[in-house]
Chain A
C-alpha cells in the first residue's frame, strides 16, 4: 500500500483531489472511454469534493466523461430527505460540476425489490467497464461503506442492517434523535470495492486513529473490513497527523520518508 501522511484534514482533501484530477487527466476520457469513480459520503470526503469543484470552476477538470458510483444509500427515507446520500451528493458535488445526470449512479433505498436493485447496481458497474478508482472513508469501527464488523470480505452489493455504533455516529445528522436514524442501508460489498483497479481510503481525525491502526498494522479481519485492502494491488491510504496517533513510530517514519515519491503522484503535468 501507499500511506500518504498530510498535516491536516484540509491537506488530505487537497491531496486526494489532486490525485483524482491527475488520474482522470492521465486516463483522458472521451465519449467512448469513460472514467469511472467510486464515491463515498460523510464529513471525510467533503474537503476533497470542494477542491474538485474548484478545479472544475477553474477550467482544469471536466466531469463530462466521468461516471460515478456511490457506495451506499439509506433505506426507508425519501430520495430528497436532507440526510439522504442523494441529497448529500447533489449539494456537495453534483450540482456544482458538469457531470451528466445519467452518469451519476446511486443505489435506490426505496426500490420495490431491494435485492434486485443491488444486483442491478453490480451489473451497471460491470457494464461501465468496472471502477477505475474507488474513493472511500473508514468508520470508527474500521468499516468501509456499510460493511459493518462481521461482513464477508468477498461480499457484494446488498442490504445491510446498521450496527448500533453506526446508528449512534449518524444520529448527529438526524437531530440527535436515534429513533429517526434509518436502520437499514444498501451498500456495495467489500468484494465490490476490491474489484476496482485502484482504491483510495481517506482517514482524518484522532477518533479514526485506532481504526487506521487495525486496518494497516493488524491482520486482515472481517472485524475491520477496511483491512481487506491489504490484499489489493493498488491501495492508497491518505491520512492526517491526528489519524496516525495509534500507529507505530516506525510505520509513520517510513512512509513520511517517501514524501518526494508521493508528491510525484500528484504533480501537475504540462
Chain B
C-alpha cells in the first residue's frame, strides 16, 4: 500500500542500524526517504502522523545483491523475454530482504547480449519488485583457463581495445552497472579506463592474473573482485595473486578494494571466509551468485538444457555430485556469515547493504539508514530472519509475524 504524500511515519520500539551500531532509536520516514526527526521537531515543528510499533524488531537497510544470475526457474542468460524474467525475479526476491540488485549475465554470445542488454533498464524498486541497479556483465572478456562454468566458445578478448567491448555490448552502457573482466587480457588498461569514465564499475574475476596485474587494474580504476577465491589462482605465499589484493600496499589509501563472497557455507569454506573477514573486513560484499534453481523446491528440475537436483542447500547436476551453482538466498547468507565469522550482526548486515552500495558509489542514497537516503529497509528478528521488506517507505512484503504492521 503506497504511503500518503507528505505523511510522516515513525517506526518505534525497534533497534536500528546506524553509524555501524545497532541502537535503540526510532526510524522516521516521509515521501520515500528517511528523515531527521530532530530537524522535523525544531525547524518544521511537526510530529509523526502514523506511529508503527515494531515490537522490538531490528531495522536494517535493504540488502543489495550485485551478482545474481536468475532464480525461481528464470535464467537471465538464457531467455527470450528478459524483461519479464527480471521482473519475476525482482518480485520474488522481496521475501528474502533484497531491495536492489544487479541482474547478472554469464559469458554469452553477442546475439544474446543483443536480446538482453538494451532492454533491462535501471529502475527504482516498488511493490512490483526490487530495484534494478544495472546489469552485471560477467563476461565474455574473461580468461579461458578460469572459465568456471562459463561456455568457453563465447569467451572473447579485446584485441581492438574498447571498440570490441562496445560491439559486444551493443553500444549500450546506460543499463550497465558492473563489468567483470580478466585484467591479464591485452589492452585491458584502455578498457578499464573507458568503463571507469562512463561510471561503470570494473570487477576483476575469472582470471589467472598475478598480484601485480591485479594491482595495476585497481590503480587504473577497477574497484572489486568477482566471487573471491572462485575462478582465480589460489593464494600462494610467493605470489598471492588476486587474493593478495586484500592486503596489498599498492592500493591508494582513499580507495577500498571490494570483493564479492558467496557465504552459503558451500562455495566458500568457513575458514576461508574468516580469513577474508579478518584480513579485510571493510571490503566484504555478500553476493548470492544464485542460479535459476534458487527458490525452487527440493527435487529434480529441468532448467534450460540441464537437469539439476536440489537436495537441502546444495544444487548438483542430476545424477552426479558436481555442484552447479549456488541457490542460497541473501538473507540466509547474512545469517550464515554471522554464524561463521563471529563478526556481530552489524557487520553481517553491512556486508549485504552498505558495502555493495559503497562499491557501486551509491551509498549516498542506498545501503544505509542515514537521513535523506532512500527508505529501503527491512524489519528483522534477533536471528536476522526477514519479517517485512520496505521500498521507498512502502511495505512490499510482510511475513505476517509482526502484529499490527
Interface, chain A (partner B; CB < 8 A): 79-80, 86-87, 90, 94-95, 100-102, 104, 106
The residue on B at minimum CB distance from A79 is: B42
Select from chain B the residue with minimum beta-carbon distance to A100: B47
Shortest Cβ distance from B44 into A: residue? A101
CA distance A102 to B37 in the complex (A): 14
Chain B contacts for A80, CB-based, 8 A: 36, 38-39
A106 to chain B, nearest CB (A): 8
Chain B interface (Cβ within 8 Å of chain A)? 26, 36-47
Which residue of B36, B39, B41, B43 contacts A94 across the interface (Cβ within 8 Å)?
B41
Residue among B38, B45, B46 with most chain A CB within 10 A: B38
B51 shortest CB reach to chain A, Å: 11
**B46 and A101: CB pair below 8 A?**
yes
Q: Give 11 A-B contacts (CB < 8 Å), ordered by A residue.
A: A80-B36, A86-B38, A87-B38, A90-B38, A90-B41, A90-B42, A95-B37, A95-B38, A101-B47, A104-B42, A106-B42
A106 / chain B contacts, CB cutoff of 8 Å: 42
Q: What secondary structure prevails in chain B residues at the interface with A?
A: helix
Contacts between the two chains (Cβ within 8 Å), count: 28
Given A80-B39, A86-B42, 13 new contacts (CB under 8 A): A79-B42, A79-B43, A80-B36, A80-B38, A90-B38, A94-B41, A95-B26, A95-B37, A95-B41, A101-B42, A101-B45, A101-B46, A102-B45
Majority secondary structure, A binding face: helix
Q: Which residues of B contact A101 (CB under 8 A)?
A: 40-42, 44-47
By beta carbon, the residue of chain B nearest A98 is: B47
Q: How far is A100 from B40 in the complex, measured between Cα atoms in Å? A: 12
Q: How far is the CB of A96 from chain B (nearest CB, A)?
A: 10
Q: Identify the interface centre among B37, B42, B47: most chain A CB within 10 Å of its CB.
A: B42
A9 to B113, CA, bound (A): 72
CA distance A94 to B45 in the complex (A): 12
Bound-state CA distance A95–B42 (Å) is 11
B165 → chain A closest CB, angstroms: 47
CB-nearest residue of chain A to B38: A90
**CB nearest neighbor in B for A86:** B42
CB distance from A112 to the nearest CB of B (A): 16
**Residues of B contacting A94 in the complex (Cβ-Cβ under 8 angstroms):** 41
- Residues in A whose Cβ lies below 8 Å from that of B37: 95
Chain A residues within an 8 Å CB radius of B39:
80
How far, in angstroms, from A102 to B45 measured CA to CA in the complex?
Answer: 6
Q: How far is the CB of B12 from chain A (nearest CB, A)?
A: 10
What's the Cα separation between A113 and B42 when bound, in Å?
A: 19
CB-CB under 8 A from B38, the residues of chain A are: 80, 86-87, 90, 95
Once bound together, how far apart are the Cα atoms of A88 and B297, in whole Å? 54
Chain B: minimal CB distance from A128 (Å)? 16
Q: Which residues of chain A are near B42, meaning CB under 8 Å?
A: 79, 86, 90, 101, 104, 106
Alpha-carbon separation in the docked complex, A79 to B36 (Å): 13
A163 to B311, CA, bound (A): 75
Q: How far is the CB of B128 from chain A (nearest CB, A)?
A: 35
Q: Which one of B37, B41, B43, B44 has the greatest number of beta carbons of chain A within 10 Å?
A: B41
Q: Report the nearest A residue to B46, measured CB to CB.
A: A101
